[in-house]
């Protein structure tokens, strides 16, 4: 049993003072006692630790390498993607594990308690499967075992190069499987996840409507059952045009009409939607998987956040390309994108909640649902995914309650994370992961070797 005593805690019921939170041996919250006498591990401000609901861990090693235009007169997601395909040709399983561990460590230090890894790097560089079809997925799981992060592993089905069914080429060959091969991969990945602590989960990820045909989509959704289903959707205007021409409907419109989208679904990006699509997606119960820093970095566009939330839509945030791993930064970028689009301030705030409170609460709830990881709140029976902030941070002076969250997101207090527990595992202490030096050292060696080869 672990006991944490917080001067202030954001519980499912709201803010409370002098709160004792007891975690059982499985890492779940066994008891919550407001007004308790100090004991156990004493902290300042205790919050639920949100899930990073969308990550491609290997792309962390690409951060900062794609910021020049090259020969293209207009750089875009599509030119960035060509560079990424070249990059993956050089990655070995050992390197993928080292990169994933470093990225997961940074996630924990940023305040995330868990990650949903959208994993599509499956094969050797020429497309030949490893002897174990889940060799690369198992490396992500091994990284999670080392870092202690809660993992929802989402093996990706990627079976065609476009809506016309063309074959995969170049870097895409490392991603490709037909459904039969994917089913074997899923079973092997499930065994790797089964070796992790009991809070680990597995789901499925049909990559996109471009990369998975309608029949294969039905098959992978059936394989999922009630597990998480994540899919890239409507990220780029060219994608919307291709899907519309091939399927006779816009991507989100087609998906909602044909795929049985429900609360276990997470639609990643969903950037380019009509008002009708936005409202229909909100009503479906699916979670919008927003990755504001990556979406800004790639020039994707701006999510219609105000309309979506006004219709009751759920969302969470992810680090996607991992160009920068920051929980506070993702939520801040989400609100700032709305301000730029609407030319207003505090777009996502309400009369009852400030921007910081609304964004944090919604991301915690939506991320937990997308990862099949409870409700995203500090409540009895929930996973012990917890993050603490230092109330002595300069930008917290004279503030309390929701104002702490506003300072965390919009002022310099974004670096005030002190502790993080993932399902009761106390992985970040005094702002640093307990394996920081070892994990960073291995990543440094990996990156030095990669930079000599790319």
Q: How many angstroms separate the CA atoms of 1 and 152, rounded?
A: 25
End-to-end CA distance of the chain: 48
Which tokens in the block code for residue 434? 């307990």
Question: Are 442 and 364 spatial neighbours (Cβ–Cβ below 8 Å)?
Answer: no
* 289 in Cβ contact with 370 (< 8 Å): yes
Residue carrying the six token digits 């962390």: 60
Please state, in angstroms and rounded to a whole number, the distance separating the CA atoms of residues 234 and 14.
35
Task: List the one residue out of 143, 145, 108, 114 whose CA is nearest residue 433.
Answer: 108
Q: Is 269 a catalytic residue?
A: yes
75 is catalytic: no
Q: Which of 54, 207, 269, 272 is catalytic?
A: 269
**CA-closest candidate to residue 392, choices 5, 107, 7:** 7
Which residue in 199, 300, 320, 419 is the catalytic one? 320
Rama region for 7: left / alpha / beta (φ>0; ψ in -120 to 50; rest) = alpha
User: Among all residues, which ones are annotated catalytic?
Assistant: 269, 320
């Amino acid at each position: 049993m672990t006991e944490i005593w917080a001067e202030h805690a954001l519980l499912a019921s709201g803010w409370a003072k002098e709160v004792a939170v007891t975690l059982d041996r499985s890492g779940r919250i066994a008891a919550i006692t407001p007004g308790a006498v100090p004991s156990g591990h004493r902290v300042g401000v205790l919050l639920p630790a949100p899930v990073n609901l969308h990550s491609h861990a290997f792309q962390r090693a690409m951060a900062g390498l794609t910021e020049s235009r090259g020969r293209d007169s207009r750089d875009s997601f599509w030119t960035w993607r060509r560079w990424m395909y070249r990059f993956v040709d050089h990655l070995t399983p050992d390197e993928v594990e080292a990169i994933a561990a470093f990225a997961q460590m940074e996630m924990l230090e940023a305040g995330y308690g868990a990650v949903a890894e959208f994993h599509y790097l499956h094969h050797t560089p020429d497309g030949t499967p490893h002897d174990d079809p889940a060799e690369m997925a198992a490396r992500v799981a091994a990284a999670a075992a080392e870092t202690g992060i809660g993992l929802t592993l989402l093996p990706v089905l990627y079976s065609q190069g476009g809506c016309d069914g063309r074959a995969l080429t170049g870097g895409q060959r490392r991603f490709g499987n037909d459904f039969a091969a994917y089913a074997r991969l899923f079973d092997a990945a499930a065994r790797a996840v089964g070796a992790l602590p009991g809070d680990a989960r597995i789901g499925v990820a049909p990559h996109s409507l471009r990369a998975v045909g309608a029949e294969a989509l039905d098959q992978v959704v059936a394989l999922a059952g009630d597990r998480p289903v994540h899919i890239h959707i409507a990220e780029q205007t060219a994608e919307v045009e291709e899907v519309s021409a091939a399927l006779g409907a816009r991507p989100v419109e087609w998906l909602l009409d044909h795929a049985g989208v429900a609360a276990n679904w997470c639609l990643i990006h969903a950037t380019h939607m009509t008002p009708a699509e936005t409202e229909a997606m909100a009503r479906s119960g699916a979670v919008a998987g927003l990755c504001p820093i990556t979406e800004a970095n790639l020039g994707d566009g701006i999510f219609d956040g105000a309309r979506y939330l006004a219709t009751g839509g759920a969302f969470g945030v992810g680090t996607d390309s991992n160009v920068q791993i920051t929980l506070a930064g993702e939520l801040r970028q989400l609100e700032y994108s709305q301000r730029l689009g609407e030319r207003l301030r505090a777009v996502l705030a309400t009369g009852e909640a400030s921007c910081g409170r609304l964004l944090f609460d919604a991301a915690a709830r939506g991320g937990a649902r997308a990862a099949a990881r409870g409700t995203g709140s500090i409540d009895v029976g929930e996973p012990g995914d917890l993050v603490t902030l230092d109330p002595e941070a300069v930008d917290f002076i004279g503030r309390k309650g929701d104002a702490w969250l506003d300072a965390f997101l919009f002022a310099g207090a974004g670096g005030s994370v002190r502790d993080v527990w993932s399902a009761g595992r106390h992985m970040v202490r005094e702002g640093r992961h307990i394996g920081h030096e070892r994990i960073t050292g291995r990543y440094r060696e990996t990156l030095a070797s990669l930079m000599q080869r790319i």
